[in-house]
């Protein structure tokens, strides 16, 4: 059995990690910890775990001691805090970091967008970007995974076949994304207060969302188009979970929709968690509580414009499910192990 620890168990991603790992046939959750609930029973913060998870939050006083006897540790912590922990435990255990601290390959860009000095720049370039459909072999051989952001996962998977095959013109990629409120985290805030979000729908952080450089980094790496622009517009929806991204690109030829679907079918043919949909456009409900990413394509008018639609569950494929998918690869397990469940419907 893989002995696992989770640091950062008070939020939604931590709760989902507990749920997924509890049912994983090859994992034993040995220890859990957080910054704020030391010595508390886990079910005191997550009531749905009552009579199921009988564990005490060990706190973060001594990360080095926490990882003793562990094979892997998941960090579900805010940016800045996660890298402080990595600095203390790197080399002692395999690490899957769900924060943004190791996702970017340029330290200056990280510090500019996140407004903090990185706690362990010596490990910055050691991390592998944990999108299995792109970096599967690298993930198998690393001890530090930078789990991707939720919005970037939906956008990168939606565009990657086009970019890898150099089928778009160098210009602006427009990604219009909508997320459920769980993407804003569990901590109470005015903008997620029920009277504010209910029967409401709004854009936020236009032109300055911190996932923008992460999206651009991977799109440029795939395409080689150094001058590619990413216009990313996130929105908050009055629903609990899910992300729907509608992405607009200009193709460099007038490809038929049949050829485009064949391209996507061929590219993702062996990817269990990516479903190319011809039957209907992706919907958040059709991937809810699952590790699937659904992708659909629509030609716009008679020109070379293409609309790509992708849907994921922000807490599963966008966070904790993808983290478990990465863990499976790191330990040589079948990639679907413990996460090949169907979406919750209706």
Measured CA to CA, the distance from residue 304 to residue 228 in angstroms comes to: 17
Residues facing 202 on adjacent strands = 236
Asked whether 106 and 125 are in contact (CB, 8 A), the reply is no
Catalytic center residues: 150
CA 321 from chain centre, in angstroms, equals 8
Q: Which residues contact 202 (CB under 8 A, 6 or more apart)?
A: 235, 236
Asked whether 8 and 34 are in contact (CB, 8 A), the reply is yes
Measured CA to CA, the distance from residue 19 to residue 128 in angstroms comes to: 25
Measured CA to CA, the distance from residue 297 to residue 156 in angstroms comes to: 14
Q: Cβ of 171: how many Cβ atoms within 10 Å?
A: 12
Interior/surface letters 9-26, b for 16+ CB within 10 angstroms, e for the rest: bbbbbbbbbbbbbeebee
Interior/surface letters 100-135, b for 16+ CB within 10 angstroms, e for the rest: bbbbbbeeeebeebbeeebbbeebbebbbbbbbbbb
């Amino acid at each position: 059995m893989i002995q696992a620890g989770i640091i950062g168990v008070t939020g939604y991603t931590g709760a989902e990690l507990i749920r997924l790992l509890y049912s994983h046939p090859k994992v034993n959750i040995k220890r859990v910890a957080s910054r704020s609930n030391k010595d508390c029973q886990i079910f005191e913060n997550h009531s749905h775990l009552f009579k199921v998870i009988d564990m005490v939050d060990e706190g973060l006083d001594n990360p080095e001691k926490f990882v003793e006897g562990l094979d892997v540790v998941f960090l579900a912590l805010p940016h800045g805090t996660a890298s402080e922990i990595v600095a203390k435990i790197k080399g002692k255990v395999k690490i899957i970091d769900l924060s943004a601290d190791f996702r970017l390959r340029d330290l200056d860009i990280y510090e500019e967008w996140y407004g903090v000095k990185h706690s362990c720049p010596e490990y910055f370039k050691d991390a592998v970007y944990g999108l299995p459909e792109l970096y599967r072999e690298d993930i198998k051989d690393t001890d530090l995974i930078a789990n991707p952001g939720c919005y970037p996962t939906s956008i990168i998977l939606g565009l990657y076949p086009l970019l890898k095959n150099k089928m778009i013109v160098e210009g602006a990629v427009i990604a219009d994304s909508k997320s459920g409120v769980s993407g804003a985290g569990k901590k109470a805030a005015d903008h997620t207060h029920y009277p504010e979000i209910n029967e409401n729908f709004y854009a936020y952080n236009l032109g300055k969302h911190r996932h923008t450089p992460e999206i651009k980094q991977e799109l440029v790496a795939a395409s080689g188009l150094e001058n590619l622009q990413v216009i990313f517009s996130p929105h908050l929806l009055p629903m609990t979970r899910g992300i729907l991204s509608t992405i607009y690109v200009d193709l460099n030829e007038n490809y038929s929709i049949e050829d485009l679907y064949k391209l996507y079918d061929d590219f993702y043919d062996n990817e269990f968690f990516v479903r190319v949909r011809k039957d209907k456009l992706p919907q958040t409900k059709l991937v809810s509580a699952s590790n699937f990413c659904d992708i659909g394509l629509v030609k716009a008018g008679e020109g070379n414009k293409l609309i790509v639609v992708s849907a994921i569950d922000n807490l599963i494929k966008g966070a904790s499910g993808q983290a478990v998918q990465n863990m499976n690869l790191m330990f040589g397990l079948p990639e679907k192990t413990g996460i090949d469940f169907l979406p919750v419907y209706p």
